[in-house]
Amino acid sequence: MDYEGYQTKAYDIPVKRYCQTLDLKDNRALIAEYRKLHSREYAWPEIRRGIREVGILEMEIYIYGNKLFMIVETPLDFDWNVAMKRLASLPRQAEWEECVTRFQECLPGSTSAEKWHLMDRMFYLYD
């Protein structure tokens, strides 16, 4: 496989990054449907708008098998807990979470903040 990498956005402000992980149910058909739900064509516009509305500049999800890795970029003054609480209250967010729960290894009724696990950075190039 030829790896070309993914271009990142440049911002006019300093940003910080949050990294999260979540496991999907190990079922190829469910994973294919989950990927489709997140495609440009099928992703819910209200969910994308809500993500931006709470102050998130960029959100990317990567997949390997049934393992997901999410990168969230925000301004430096972003408050994760405040934003996640607000995101959970936005229109259609609860409906979206209910929709995607059937694909995810999580408890029914979990919010996005409860499903996705924040990861600790353990290495960088120490510049």
Residue range 50-82, pLDDT digits in tens? 999 999 999 999 999 999 999 999 999 999 999
∠78-40-77 over CA atoms, to 5°?
5
Domain 15-118 has CATH 3.30.70.1090: yes
Q: Residue 112, SS3?
A: helix
- pLDDT of residue 1 exceeding 80, the answer is no
The tokens describing 18, both together, are 């949050």
- Sorting pLDDT into bands at 50, 70 and 90, what band is 109? confident
- Sorting pLDDT into bands at 50, 70 and 90, what band is 125? very high
The tokens describing 57, both together, are 């500049």
Distance CA 33, CA 102 (A): 11
DSSP state of 24: B
Q: Specify the pTM.
A: 0.91
The model's pLDDT over 26-42, given as tens digits with 9 standing for 90+, comes to: 999 999 999 999 999 99
Mean pLDDT, residues 78-96 taken together: 95
At position 3, the amino acid (one-letter code) is: Y
Phi, psi of 97 (to 5 degrees): -60, -40
